[in-house]
Structures are given as C-alpha cells and as structure tokens.
A and B are shown apart, each in its own frame.
Chain A
Amino acid sequence: MAFVTANWNPLGEAFYRKIELYEMGWNLRDGLRDCLVAAAPYGGPIALLKEPQRRSPSARPQLEIYSSSGVSMASFAWKSGPVKQLGWTVSDDLLCVQEDGTVLIYDLFGGFKRHFSMGNEVLQNHVMEAKVFHSPYGTGVAIITGAFRFTLATNIDDLKLRRLPEIPGLQGAPSCWAVLTQDRQSKVLLANGVDLFILDNTACTPVTPPGLSPQANSIVHMTVSFSYKYLALFTDSGHVWMGPTNLKDKLSEVETKVRTPPRQMVWCRRPKSQQPSVVIMWDRHLLVAGECKDTIQAGLSTVAVSVLDPMFGYHLDDESVLVPELDGVRIISGTHHELLQEVPAACEEIFKIASMAPGALLLEAHKEYEKESQKADEYLREIKEQSLLGEAVRQCVEAAGYEHEPETQKSLLRAASFGKCFLSNFPPEQFVSMCRDLRVLNAVREYTVGIPLTHSQYKQMTVQVLIDRLVYRKLYPLAIEICRYLKTPEYQGVSRVLKHWACCKVQQKEEADEVIARAVSVKLGEAAGISYSEIAAGAYECGRTELAIKLLEFEPRSGEQVPLLLKMKRSQLALSKAIESGDTDLVYTVVTYLKNEMNRGDFFMTLRNQPVALSLYRQFCKYQEQDTLKDLFNQDDDHQELGNFYVRASYQEGKLEARLSLLQSAVDEYNKAKNEFAAKATEEEMRLLRFQRRVEEEKGERVLGYSLQDTMHCLLAAGLHKQAEQLYKDFRVPDKRYWWLKLSALAEKEDWDELEKFAKSKKSPIGYLPFVEVCVKHHNKYEAKKYVSKVNPEQKVKAHLAVGELEGAAEAAIERRSEPEISLVLSRCSPATDSAILDRLNRARATATKK
C-alpha cells in the first residue's frame, strides 16, 4: 500500500503505471516466439498458432486458445491451409484468415462453426496481410492481396465484400496500413513511402498529416486508436507523429532516436484524457511516447527518468504482444500479463506523494482512525473546514474503481464509508453501485475466470455483454450468481443464462433423453420467459428428435412449437399446436405442409378431425383450388354446400347447356340435402333459362339471364303479352306482383289503352291508387284521373292529391272525418286556394279533433 506509486512513471502532465494482471498459467516452451497471436479486447481470450508457416503434414501447427490468465480452453492441430492472421469477433469467436482468403470461424472451445471466402481475387492473388477490426457494425476483415488490392468486409455476420479502388502509383506493397471508421464507413489508410492515402468505397484520396517531420522519407508503421479518433505514424527517421484521424492538426511529434521499424505500436489513452501517448515495441524494448514539450527517455534495463524527454521506456524480458484497450494497453508475454495505463486523475490526487487533495486527506484520516489516533480528527477537520468532505468521499469511491488490488479497493471504500458518516444527506448510489461493480469485477478477474476487465471497460461493455461472455465460456453458475446479485430482471438475466445452459446441456450425448429433459425442466421450471423451443431446436440440431419433442412440451407458446415440429416431421402435432395458438396463418402453413406431405385421403381425414383447420382450408380452396373444395364437400357428404358449389360454378359458364347441366347437379345435391325449396327454385331457374332461350330463338328478344321479373317486364314491354302471361301462370307469380309489374311496364311503354283494358280486366289485387300514382309518375294526369274514382275510400285523399285535385281531396277527407288526412290536405293548400274550401276543412278538423 505504501508503495502504490512505486510503479508510476511521469510523462507530460500525467503519470503512467504498469500493473501486473496475471502470472500466466500456460506453459509455453518458447514463449511467444514464432507464434501468431490474437488477444481479444476487453480482457478477452488469447489464441496462439505456433509456427503458422510450417506446412509438413507430419507436424501440423497447433492452435491453442487460452483465457487472459493463460488457462487452456482448447488445443488442436491445425489441419486446414496456412493461416495469415488470427482475430476475435465481438461475440468471442475466433477468425482464422487463410492465405487463400478463406476465413474459418471457431468458437471459444475450438469448435468449428462455419467459414466464408473473401472472394475470387483474394483466392487468386493470395492474402499478403490481413487485419481483423471492430466497428459499430460488428467485426470486419480487411485484406491486401499479392496484387496490392484491398478487399474489405465490414460485418462478417452480414457479409458484403467490397473491393476497394486501385491505388495510383503503387508499385509494391504499401509500407504500412490501417483500417479506419469514419462517417459510418470503414476505410483503409495506407502509406506508400511518405505519401498517405485514404481508400474508401469509391475513391483513393491522398492526404497529408500536418507538420510531419521533413526528415522522414517513409512512414513505416501506423496505428489508430481504440476509438478510431487518433492516428500515430512512425517514420524511418524515428519520429512519431500523433494527431486526429481526420488529419486536421497535430497533437505532438516525438523523436525516438530509434530508426528500426517497431514490431508493434498502439495508442495508450484513457477516455477524456488530454494526454496523447503511444506505446511502441521493438524486440526487447518498450517506449511510451507522449507530448513533445515534456518528455521522458528510459534506459534499456531499468526505468530512468529524464525530465525533458517526451517518453520513457521499459525493458522486456521476453517476446511480448500489445493489446490495445479503451483505457490502456495490455502487455502479454510468455510469463506475464500486465496492464499499462495513464494513472487516473482520482488515483493521482489521492496517492501522489505529499498530495493534499481531499481524498488523500480522507484516506489518511481513516488510517489514523484505525490506529485509534486523534490525528484522524485533525485530518477530518481540515477537509471539513474547506467543505470538501463530499468531494473527498467521491474521490475515494472513484479511485477504488480504478484500483486492481482488492486490498487497495477496500481501504479506499472504507475511507469513503468513514467520510460518509460525517455527511448528512449524501446520496448513497455511487458508493453502493461501486461496491457492487467491484464485487462483480473481482469475481471475473479471478484467475480461473481470467477476464481482467477494468471498471471503465466494464461500464462500456455493460453487464448484459459481460453475462454473454460468461455464457460463451460456459461459466453458467457465475453468470447466474451475478444476475441474481445485480437483481437483473429474470427475462434478461437468469432466464437467458439458463436457456444457454440448457442449449449446451442437450448436447451432452452421454446422457439419456429422459434425464436431460428432467434436468432441464427442474432447473428452468421457475424461471420466467424461457424459450423452450430454442432449446428444443438445439436438441434437434444435434440429432435428438425425441428429446426435442419432450422439451417442446414445456413451451408455453404453442405458436413457437410449430416450425420445429414441422422440421421434425411431427406434422399432426404441429397442426394441433397451431390451432391451439389461434394464429390462423400458422394453421395455414401447417395445412399446406401436410398437403404436400400426405396422400390426399389421409390429408382429408386429418382435416376432418380438425374443424378449425378444415374451415380455413375451405377458404383457401375457395379462392385457390375450386376442385379440391368440391372434393372436400363430397368427403363430408355436405350436399347443401355441394349444391351451392354447383350453382356458383354454373355462373362461370357462358354456354347455356353447360350451365344447365351444372344446375341439374345442384338440383340433385339439394335433393340429397333434403332442401326442397332450393331444389325447386333451381329447377325453376332451369325452366326459366330454357324458356328464355326459346323466346330468343322465336321472337328475337334478348332476355337470357334475366330474372323472372325482368323477363316478364321485357316481354310486356315488347308487347309479347301471351308469353308474359304464360310465365305468370307457369311460375305461379302472385297476382299482386304481376299486377304491379304489368302496370309499370305498360305505363313505361305509355300504352294507355292497354293499361285501361288491364285495369278493367278484373278487380285489381293492389287496389287502384298505384294506377293513379304510376300514371302521375309518367306525367299523364289525364290517365291518372281515370282511376281516382276506383280508389278505395282509405286512399282516396292521397289519390286526389296525387292528381292535384285539392277540392276532391278535401271532399274525401271531410267525408272520412279523419284529422290527419284533413291536416294533410290543409298542408297542401296555398294562398290561392278557394277560401270556402279552407273554411270547410278547418271546421271539419275542429270537429274531428273534438271527437
């Protein structure tokens, strides 16, 4: 504790520190020499491929996967082609880029997942160099081929290969290159000698870094920061140029005095820090270069600080690899795993020698308090006098988050807790959540888990992702513990972990279906929102159909069960589940599937037992397969519907004979259905059609297809009274309707003589008011008046009014002593009306009302 600052190095305004994360658990005979190494950011796994160039079939290179602490997770002999590059995806899958442009994807435990190709051009010209990069769109791969052309895939899960344009004037390989993400697009930045170019989808644009040292003849190395915001260039003159990736200005340029091209160079920055700095590695030498105005140079073995140098260095005992993180750089060697980072401001304030910052004083006060010394009070007083106690607590809590050693964390948190006692109304959230976060972080940093996350990284990646990572590593119990500890909602937390556990469980071939199903149901029983169908799908994928069916029974969402049941050829079951879900589209889907799968007889039988499916299928057939519809009705002996079917079909026929024959089928079916009315009506229809044809043939009157009423109307209008009469008798048309019909037909024809004859033929079954009204409608009041006298007394008033005889109407109304009728007549009177009539009406109304 007392030596917290022992590993600090000052650079510019800030200090840098190197913390040991792990002593590596692996046992590598030759360290990292001759190895292709890929370590995933956020404390991810490490992949090693030893001697990737060795191609003799007898001695295949070994691919090994370790956790960050060097615990082995997988190891197998590499049997595919020569590998140019290894890299990790955002979901902890390993990408192996082969020389021929094939990219193979493995999971954390070395299980092969899939592969894809980077295209023909890559296949022909081979991969010269490849880089795996991360962007907001996922994990990407960039390749430069032997023909010096770039091919890029921004997201390997949604593979869209882009071949970037040619670089003008490029004769050989570029001296160095890097992938940038700018304006929502991935681009390549490359150097050819001292010239820089940006390659995007469409163009190759030359760019110049402002203020690059004129001594430089070539840019030999470059690196882009974790956030893609900053760029560092290393020149053959030994200069390091640092600036933003948009190349608008320069942050710093440092002369390293080393002219050998470095093995690796990475940015070492923490978010919001003002301090630009890059870490440069040669074989055994590590250099941290910062701002020019105040620099540090280090000797070769131990740290020596010279105040004026913009850099300092470390000696490396062993071949190492640098892994950039968002708040520092991890250094992995054959034996150790360290973190190099800028000392966070809160830690610097507290631990800097002779610091008088409130946090530092609070930590001191607490130390004295534990020693039961009264000095504690003095320190506290000093802070309180400046009203900085709140600030002090906040500083201690924040600093605890940055510390790696649980002991240091504890002492800082204890100090914070101690300080809090002297504050009222201090919000507890920050303290509480920091305690929680650290508990989680310490658990995952633990050697056996081996995820050395910093607090900043943890906040950036979120708990959700951390849980996912633990799940990928099959650390289910720990994941569940964390979910429960953080009270993550079940749906996103425990249930999700359990689902992954179950998916993994079903792959255990040695256990019996029964045992697994029971184990799964017991564990998952209580958890909410579990998708059993996904688990079942997992079981089915590894060939365990029976187990899948057993698991599906636990699925509460019947709709979810259907696709898998179909895939497993359990179509009957799928049908009942689809019906249960109420989702008719799903029922349709299963029905279509069944139709293709079964013979017709079985298919119909199946439907017969499922009325819901049957009626849906009928609907489908009605629009899509008329013939099948008929078969369905036949099977059910549904004669009524068959009758309707034939009727419907008959109207699609343009030929009379064909229509008649379909209608005859309809009649037969209606008879079988004992629907006498429909059978008779259809027979009538056939009779009418035949009659119509005859009329057309004999009289040339177009009536085919008309209704009975319209046919008669037509005939009457054409003067074919005999034929109309015949229909009237044959079809037993009610007198009333026939009279109405003949009346309007004759009036329309203005055949007034015939109308009069008709009126006199016998007593009208509809009375004579219609005669009056129809004549008026056809503007013949003269004819209308002929019938007024025949109208029965109840309707006489109306009749008189219709022909405009006010006086007659008045007479009739008064005679009938009907108040409403008298009022009706009155309402039709105008100022021009004879006043005598008016008087009589009014008087009559008075008496009628009195009654």
Chain B
Amino acid sequence: MISLADRKMAAHLSYGRVNLNILREAARKELREFLDKCAGSKAIVWDEYLTGPFGLIAQYSLLKEHEVEKMFTLKGGRLPAADVKNIIFFVRPRLELMDIIAENVISEDKLRSPRDFHILFVPRHSLLCEQRLKEQGVLGSFINIDEYILDLIPYDGDLLSMESESAFRECYLESDQTSLYHTAKGLMTLQALYGTIPQIFGKGECARHVANMMLRMKREFAGSQTQILPVFDTLLLLDRNVDLLTPLATQLTYEGLIDEIYGITNGYVKLPPEKFAQKKQGEGGKDLPNEPKKLQLNSAEELYAEIRDKNFNAVGAALSKKAKIISAAFEERHNAKTVGEIKQFVSQLPHMQAARSSLANHTSIAELIKDITTSEAFFDNLTVEQEFMTGVDTDKVNTYIEDSIAQKDPLIKILRLVCMQSVCNNGLKQKVLDHYKREILQTYGYEHILTLSNLEKTGLLKPQTGTRNSYPTIRKTLKLWMEDANEQNPNDISYVYSGYAPLSVRLTQLLARPGWRSIEEVLKMLPGPHFEERQQLPAGLHKKRQQGENRTTLVFFLGGVTYAEIAALRFLSQMEDGGTEYIIATTKLINGTSWVKSLMDRLETLPF
C-alpha cells in the first residue's frame, strides 16, 4: 500500500540513469514487513538521530497505515502513556541508548495492561547491545529484536548517502571502522539489486579495506548470486583524506552556498523567515513568522534541479530567464480564445502555479545569499582561500587569519583557514604552526588543545617534514587551478569553486579518461594505496555495450562529500563527449564547517 502522495514524493529517484527508487522500495518493503510482525496498534520510540534519515524512506502516512498511532523521542524515565499494544524502539546500536531503553522498560507501570516491547536496530543488529540489555535484566522483555538494514539511503536521483555524521571522525581519528563495514554491506545490498559491479577502483586505506571486505563477502555468499545484468560498470572508492582540501574551501555553487550558510540536513533547509513572509492584507506587520521556513531541496523541483549546481554568479540570470518564461506562460491566457484553448490553459495551471511559487522561493533564497556573498567579510575570506589554493605565501603566517583571531571570529572559520593553509603547503613550518596554535589557545581557550590534536591526527594540520612541498606539483599536474574559470557557461569542473577544480573529482575524471596510469606519480604523492579489482560476472551477464552508450560509474566518498563536488560530477555526467555518467554515494553530505565540527572535541566543562 503506497499512497499516491508518497509515490509522487519519490518520483525524482526514478528519473536518473539508475533507478534508485528500487532501493527505496526495498527498504520500505522491509519496514512494512517488520511493522506487520508486531500485530496491533503501536507506538514508536525514536532515537532522535534516526528521524531525519527515515524521513527519506517513509513518511508518517506509511507508518500510520500500519497502525502506528503514536511517536515519542527516546529519553530516560517512564514512557509516556499511550493506549497501544506494542512499543517499538527504533534505535542505533549504541550502548548508551540501551541503558535508556532499559530504564524505560523497568519503569513501565505494572498495573496497566501490559504492552509488548520490540527493538528495531538501525542499521544493524548488535550482539554487544543485546548483551547490555541482558545485563540490565530486560532482554527477556522484548518480543522481537530485529535489524533494519538501512545503509545506503536514496537521497536524490543520483545520490546515495549513509547519513552517518561521524564516519570521518571514526575512520580517520578513532580507527573505528564500523562505518566501513556498513559501507561494504550497503554495497553488497546494492549489488544484490543492481547486479555485480565488474570493476572496482580505489584510492586510500579505507577504500582498500572496503574493497577487501566486499570481495570477502562475495566469496562468503558464493552460490546465492543474483542473476541481474549489471547496472554499474565501475565502482570508484575514494578516501576523504586523499583530498582534504576540497571540503575546506567555500563552495560557490547555489546548493553549496545554501549548505555553507544555512546547512542542509537530510534534504531539508531551515531559512530565516523574513523574506518568505506572506503579505496578506489587513494583517499588519506584527505577524511576521518567527518559525524558520523549512524547505525540501531535491531534483523533484524542476527549477531547483536546473540551478542547484550552477555557480552562484550564474543563478541570477537563470532566475530572471525563468521568471520571463513563467510570466509569458501566464500571459497566454489572453490568447486563449476557444473553449479548448482555455481548457488547455487551465489544465496547465497547477504546474505553472507550482513553478511560480518555486521561483518566488528561490528568488528569496538567492537574495539572502547575495547579501552575504557581496559582503566584504565574505570577499576577504574567499581571497585568502584562493591565495592558498594558488600557492601564494602559504609558508608564512597569514595576516588575515591573525586579524580574524584577534577579532575573535568564529573558531571554525579560523580552523578551516589554518587547515587549508597547512594542506596547501603540505604542512606548516613548526614556527608558523605553533604560532597559530598559540593564538587559538589563548583566544578561544586552552581546552581546544584537544581539537588541535585531533586535526593533527587526521592530517588536516601538520608540521612540515623534511620533504618538499608536493602540493604545487599536484596542483599543476591535475590542473587544480584554472585561471579563466567560466562561471556562466562552464567548460570545466573548476567553475564550482570559481577557479579551483576539486581534486577528488579530477581524480574521477582522469580515471575515466585517460586512466590513472597517466598520473601514477601524483597518485603516489597522495595518501594510501591505489588499486584495481575485477569481480567475475556470472556467465551470460556480460553487457554488450551499444555504440555511444555511456558507462555508469558509482563514486563512493568514504568520509563525506560536498555539494560542490556533486555538482562537478553532475557536470561531468552531462558533458556531451564525457562517455561516463556518475552516481554518487557517500557516508555523509558535508561542508567545511560540519566537517571540522565533527572533529572537534567539545568538552562539557564543569564550571567552577
């Protein structure tokens, strides 16, 4: 039972080169099956972290159809009263959550009619957690303990995300490879639905580990192979730490800027409401909404799909062009003379009205962003970034950074810049590094010594070692800086950062043509091994490529990907003679701010 509205919601997943809706449907089916296993009315107790990712799979209407009557957020103490037969906990397998669940179960009112308890682990069942429940003496209280394998969530027509915020931190800082295991499992699920991917390329330690696990899992499941014609030709696994530079830079695409400035979470953005205030007559000015305006952003919205990946400087023109088209369409009504013509016009009206409101929304967003991008502060910051990326004075203490610290600008901004300088200089001179660190500690507090230590451990910040700075070589060989980036009608991926071509995407581009062999030297300068593996296809499933048919490559960013990188890959897909279309997968959609934040050690300091 899929409601019509819901089907419409997910339509944008089906339009891409690969129908990702199959994956979503599989996930929904499994959810329905679990819900039906718990017969009767139910209440769901949510691990709050999961609600966002679940929103991409199922709306409340689906849950309601399966007798979910109430929803609560998981917290300690007694569960709220609800006259339902089943209580289902939707949780990540985390020990601290198990303790809360145990508390809920123990403090359940014994006098009321008993409710059945169930647990649904997302994305995977955990023996460790079960053990904890057992120690707490509540394991026996659960009728069903199940797992809901939700590794790769379809995020858009060409985009899959695991929505795992801490993946980069876990892998590169804490040597916890849990998310890589989930990645490998997710890729196995994907292959079960879309066929074995014959070629695997990779760069980086984590990529190697994931590929190894995939090959092992394939051996383990020998004999249960699905006979599906492969949809993907190639899988490219990329470690985020192969390209630490890109996420640090400020994204300059429309979508990238929305994310940089307002933050996109699980496909939604919250915007300041003022620009969206509906001007209604007689209500006066006092009723300005104070609730942030929440908008869903994906390719289901025609206009957004058109402008999301453009450089922001090209968005204005696109919007005004669109405005003309729409008003011209509305003008058509004057030409409609016959009944037939009027009918035709009316039938198009809903679509046109949707387009008009979409245009209004994006005009407002673009105005909001423009206020920021035209500010001096934004300009100065961008100038420094571009200096670093082009290799200007990266070995000296930067005055702008110093001044920003002195004025106590947000710490994350400082960290982004310092890390960027370090990456572009392949490490900072000890003196320079120590100076920055001291400035930061004295200004923002000594507790940040732990955050700095984390940044050093992940290589974002490092002292220069004896070797020569390899960044200029990498920049030149891979053409990471393009002086004459065309923002309006791009001819190269560098348009997404107005000059800087994201290293990760350049690697992807070069893999397709002419192949990595041509850049062996540079690959060796980047961290981690690079490799190629082939997976044997069952007989009879070898694709016969039609002439002119594009190859499909799945690019998996282990540790996160930015919207600008996605835009660059989409640009490559659309290139006329590109020959390759890209589907993107990642552990999480990130930007410099969210990324650096995830690496910070935020201490809960006890006050004196």
> Which chain A residues have a beta carbon within 8 Å of chain B's beta carbons?
490-491, 495, 527-529, 556-558, 580-586, 588-589, 592, 611-612, 615-616, 618-620, 623-624, 640, 644, 647-648, 651-656, 677-678, 681-682, 684-685, 688, 704-710, 731, 733-734, 736-737, 740-741, 744, 766
Contacts and interface: CB of A to CB of B under 8 A. Distances in A.
Interface in B265-323: none
Contacts of B441: 681, 684-685, 707-708
B453 interface: yes
Contacts of B405: 737
Given A588-B128, A685-B446, A741-B406, A611 B175 contact: yes
A766 to B, nearest CB: 7
Do most interface residues of chain A lie in helix, strand or loop, or is the interface mixed?
helix
**What are the 6 A-B residue pairs with the smallest beta carbon separation, nearest first?**
A528-B223, A529-B223, A615-B175, A740-B406, A685-B446, A707-B445
Contact of A705 (B174, B216, B437, B608): B608
B447 interface: yes
Given A491-B224, A704-B608, A736-B402, A585 B450 contact: no
Contacts of B434: 677
Contacts of B403: 736, 740, 766
Given A584-B176, A681-B446, 19 more contacts: A490-B223, A556-B219, A558-B216, A582-B180, A582-B213, A585-B127, A586-B127, A589-B128, A612-B175, A619-B174, A648-B601, A654-B608, A677-B437, A678-B453, A708-B441, A709-B408, A736-B402, A737-B402, A741-B406
A817 B175 CA distance: 58
A583 B96 contact: no
B95 interface: yes
B466 interface: no
B49 interface: no
B5 interface: no
A69 B453 CA distance: 80
A682 B448 CA distance: 11
A652 B222 CA distance: 52
Nearest to A560: B220
Contacts of B446: 681-682, 684-685, 688, 707
Contacts of A586: 127
B606 interface: yes
Contacts of A685: 441, 446
Given A495-B223, A582-B177, A708 B402 contact: no
Contacts of B439: 734, 737
B357 interface: no
A707 B180 contact: no
B605 A678 contact: no
B222 A529 contact: yes
29 contacts: A495-B223, A527-B223, A556-B219, A557-B220, A580-B216, A582-B180, A582-B181, A584-B181, A585-B125, A585-B178, A592-B128, A615-B176, A618-B174, A623-B95, A651-B604, A653-B606, A677-B434, A677-B438, A678-B449, A681-B446, A682-B446, A684-B446, A704-B608, A708-B442, A737-B402, A737-B406, A737-B439, A737-B443, A766-B406
Interface centre among B222, B408, B437, B608 (most CB of A within 10 A): B608
A654 B402 contact: no
A656 to B, nearest CB: 6
Nearest to A675: B453
Contacts of B220: 556-557
A14 B105 CA distance: 63
A705 B453 contact: no
A710 B411 CA distance: 14
A766 B601 CA distance: 32
A556 B174 CA distance: 29
Nearest to A681: B441
Contacts of A585: 93, 124-128, 178
Nearest to B178: A584
Contact of B216 (A582, A647, A653, A740): A582
B407 interface: yes
B378 interface: no
Contacts of B213: 582
B488 interface: no
A651 B606 contact: yes
Nearest to A739: B406
B184 interface: yes
A647 B451 CA distance: 12
A65 B99 CA distance: 52
Interface in B99-153: 124-128, 131
B450 A656 contact: no
Contact of B174 (A615, A682, A736, A740): A615
Contacts of B131: 589, 592
Contacts, number: 143
A731 B442 contact: yes
B410 interface: no
Nearest to B447: A651
Given A651-B605, A677-B434, A709 B443 contact: yes
Contacts of A653: 606
B1 interface: no
A223 B431 CA distance: 96
B222 A584 contact: no
Contacts of A710: 445
A709 B442 contact: yes
A648 B180 CA distance: 28
A737 B439 CA distance: 9
Interface string B575-595: 000000000000000000000
A706 B178 CA distance: 38
B444 interface: yes
B603 interface: yes
Contacts of B176: 584, 615-616, 619
A578 B390 CA distance: 46
A255 to B, nearest CB: 47
A681 B222 contact: no
Contacts of A706: 445
Contacts of B606: 651-654
Contacts of A618: 174
Contacts of B607: 654, 705
A201 to B, nearest CB: 15
Interface in B180-223: 180-181, 184, 209, 212-213, 216, 219-223
Nearest to B221: A529
A582 B175 contact: no
A682 B446 CA distance: 7
A708 B174 contact: no
Nearest to A798: B376
Interface in B454-477: none
A731 B216 CA distance: 57
Contact of A682 (B128, B181, B408, B449): B449
A448 to B, nearest CB: 32
A681 B449 contact: yes
Contacts of B212: 582
Contact of A582 (B124, B184, B219): B184
Contacts of B184: 582
A737 B184 CA distance: 49
Nearest to A684: B446
Most buried by B among A585, A612, A620: A585
- Which residue among B96, B174, B406, B441 has the maximum number of chain A CB atoms within 10 Å of its CB? B406
A707 B178 CA distance: 37
Contacts of B445: 706-707, 710
Nearest to B405: A737
Contacts of A558: 216
Contacts of A582: 177, 180-181, 184, 209, 212-213, 216
A707 B444 contact: yes
Contacts of B178: 584-585
Contacts of B450: 644, 647-648
B372 to A, nearest CB: 19
Nearest to A591: B128
A740 B126 CA distance: 54
Nearest to A741: B406
